[in-house]
Amino acid sequence: MTFTWAEQNRRFALASHLSWSDIRLRYTRAVLGPWWITLNVLAMVGGVGFVYSRLFGVPINQFLPFFAVGIVMWTFFVSTVSEGAWSLIGGAAYIKDRGVPPEVFVWQAVIRNLIILAHTAPVGVLAMLVFGQGSVAGALMAVPGLILFVLATAFTAMIVAPAAARWRDLIRIIESGLFLLFVVSPVLWDLSIAKSQNAAFLRLNPMLHLLEAWRHPLMKGVMDWTALGVSAAVTGLLGLGALYARTRLKYAAFWI
The pLDDT tens digits for 183-209 are 888 888 877 655 566 666 777 889 999
pLDDT at site 254: 82
Tell me the backbone φ, ψ of residue 21, rounded to 5 degrees.
-65, -40
Residue 244, number of CB atoms within 10 A of its CB: 12
Category of 57 on φ-ψ map: left (φ > 0), alpha (ψ -120 to 50) or beta = left
pLDDT digits (tens, 9 = 90+) for 107-119: 999 999 999 999 8
* pLDDT the model gives residue 15: 86
* Domain edges within the chain: 5-255
pTM of the model: 0.90
> Closest Cα to residue 82, out of 169, 167, 156, 151?
156
Distances (CA, A) of 80 to 44, 86, 89, 169: 20, 10, 15, 18
Name every residue whose Cβ is closer than 8 Å to that of residue 79 and which is 6 or more positions away in sequence.
113, 116
Q: What are the 10-residue block averages of pLDDT along the chain, 256 residues in total?
A: 71 85 78 79 88 84 90 94 91 82 90 91 91 88 95 96 90 92 85 63 86 92 91 96 91 81
Write the CA distances from 144 to 52, 138, 228, 239, integer angstroms.
30, 11, 8, 16
Q: What is the pLDDT of residue 1?
A: 47
| Under 8 Å between Cβ of 188 and 67 | yes
Query: What whole-number distance in Å separates Cα of residue 46 and Cα of residue 62?
Result: 13
pLDDT digits (tens, 9 = 90+) for 143-177: 999 999 999 999 999 999 999 988 988 999 999 99
